Structure 1
Amino acid sequence: MKQNKYDDSGFFENYSLMPRSTGGLESAGEWDTFRGMLPELSGQRVLDLGCGFGWHCRYAREQGAVSVVGIDLSANMLERARAMTSDPKIEYLQLAIEDAAFGADSYDTVISSLAIHYIEDFGSLCRQVQHCLKTGGAFVFSVEHPIYTALAAQDWHYSPDGEKQHWPVDNYHLEGLRQANFLDHEVAKYHRTTATYLNTLIDSGFTLKRISELQPTPEMLEKNAAWQEETRRPMFLLLSAVKL
């Protein structure tokens, strides 16, 4: 299923008001960790799967990437990305991630930020990424953590007086579609276990380089007290792999 919620005007309006939408990468709590997992981008050909407003594309060029292609299914996303970009070395394509079919050895680095949990067939995606990467090329991506996606409700268990008591996890090994509520809209996400993420990468011809479950740092907690609850359960999973 190719889902395009971001071209729903109400959903896109809500998304556009999020801190990461208005403040860019520095307003995304996982950015420092994600950035630290990226390879040296100078001289690289970079592909961004689910590029959104193009923040990562522009960052790659700032770091010296020779060319960047960002793909996204949403016309709204790409219209905003193009309006924020004045760089002929960045190309934006309206294309579903599932339909991304690029030539062998076309890219040195493939990145994706919080988009792959919307994709049903992770194995097919990994095989396509492996095909379009050069040998030794990096695949770095972030997703919602499987502990976060296991239940469609994606919410805490509350006491009668509204206190967040614990994060419920159930049906963890029952992978597949979850109809979650995000920005007051029903959104289709796909739950898969941590083992599935890791083993699918390995089976697709990658070697794992780095894994992060994004434990909040003292600096993050000082900057934003809301990160305190992220010490109780992981919200993000970040993975860095290299094509063998």
Structure 2
Amino acid sequence: MKQNKYDEPSFFTTYSQMARSVEGLNAAGEWHAFRELLPSLREKKVLDLGCGFGWHCRYAREQQARSVVGVDLSEKMLARAKETTTDPAIEYLRLPIEDIDFTPEEFDVVISSLAIHYVERFDLLCQRIYHCLAPGGSFVFSVEHPVFTALAGQDWHYGPGGERLHWPVDNYQQEGIRQTNFLDHEVVKYHRTFSSYMNDLLAAGFYLTKVAEPGPPEEMLDIPGMRDEIRRPIFLLIAASKPASS
């Protein structure tokens, strides 16, 4: 079984109290940029990998997607998603996202929000996504930025008065597992370089359409601590496409 922190009661309780968990997509600092990378979802069959509470699944249907499948490993996350979803065109499946095995060309759009940095083999996941995407289909995802994941500590370097001096980057070229602390819990994430994300997508057959490293939108900058989020990248967003014909 893959790592499943979100079914640990204390972790799930803390995660459920985060602004993005309570208020949804508009409380997510990267959502304004992620939304811009998405193709038209009208009449599309959409797959959401690491769907969590189902926010993106419901958004896809609001954009008139034909159908949506949300995949997540967490039983608790999926239970909450089902509680807040009444749309029969949305289906939730419990399995690790790296174990997906859908039929060829089953989906028009695959999305994933802040889940792939929990996956060890991005190259293999790219192959599986390419397999289940229809020709001309889109793969849009967000991850924690490699500058953010390089050091396991994932924290600022502080001055003597506790002021945030700078964001340290070290061991950048050493890809692999990172034992990190998230919401006061030990969590396993995987660091890979910016170029590895690009090259794994290209090797699977995708071509790149857009890359973004967004900071928070202007309307969020008055939230305590949010202005520091423009001092270093925290998110990497990538849009890729499967060629329309081979």
TM-score by length of 1: 0.97
Identical pairs, percent: 61
Separation in structure 2 between the aligned mates of residue 16 and residue 216 of structure 1, nearest angstrom: 21
Cα pair 2:66 2:89 within 8 Å, conserved: yes
User: How far is 1:225 from its partner?
Assistant: 5.1
Separation in structure 2 between the aligned mates of residue 34 and residue 231 of structure 1, nearest angstrom: 17
Report what 1:2 is aligned to.
Answer: 2
Residue 221 (str. 1) matches residue 221 (str. 2): yes
Report what 1:76 is aligned to.
Answer: 76
Q: Which structure 1 segments of 5+ residues have no match?
A: none
What is the SS of the residue equivalent to 1:142?
strand
User: How far is 1:226 from its partner?
Assistant: 2.7
Cα pair 2:29 2:215 within 8 Å, conserved: no
Amino acid at match of 1:61: R
Report what 2:144 is aligned to.
Answer: 144
Render the CA deviation track for 1:14-35: whole Å, top value 9, x for unaligned: 0000000000001111111100
Report what 1:20 is aligned to.
Answer: 20
Report what 1:63 is aligned to.
Answer: 63
Separation in structure 1 between the aligned mates of residue 55 and residue 116 of structure 2, nearest angstrom: 17
Cα pair 2:57 2:68 within 8 Å, conserved: yes
The alignment covers a number of residue pairs equal to: 243
Separation in structure 2 between the aligned mates of residue 210 and residue 128 of structure 1, nearest angstrom: 21
Cα pair 2:30 2:215 within 8 Å, conserved: no
Cα pair 1:14 1:183 within 8 Å, conserved: yes
Residue 230 (str. 1) matches residue 236 (str. 2): no
User: How far is 1:98 from its partner?
Assistant: 1.4
Cα pair 1:113 1:141 within 8 Å, conserved: yes
Residue 43 (str. 1) matches residue 81 (str. 2): no
Report what 2:96 is aligned to.
Answer: 96
Amino acid at match of 1:94: R
Separation in structure 2 between the aligned mates of residue 19 and residue 230 of structure 1, nearest angstrom: 16
Cα pair 1:120 1:190 within 8 Å, conserved: yes
Report what 1:156 is aligned to.
Answer: 156
Root-mean-square deviation (CA, aligned residues, Å) is 1.0
User: How far is 1:106 from its partner?
Assistant: 0.2
Render the CA deviation track for 1:8-53: whole Å, top value 9, x for unaligned: 0000000000000000001111111100100000000000000000
Cα pair 1:2 1:98 within 8 Å, conserved: no
Amino acid at match of 1:56: H
User: How far is 1:215 from its partner?
Assistant: 3.0
What is the SS of the residue equivalent to 1:130?
helix
State how 1:180-191 maps to structure 2 within 5 Å: 180-191=180-191
Residue 241 (str. 1) matches residue 246 (str. 2): no
Render the CA deviation track for 1:101-136: whole Å, top value 9, x for unaligned: 111000000000000000000000000000000011
Report what 1:11 is aligned to.
Answer: 11
Q: Which structure 2 segments of 5+ residues have no match?
A: none
Separation in structure 1 between the aligned mates of residue 29 and residue 166 of structure 2, nearest angstrom: 22
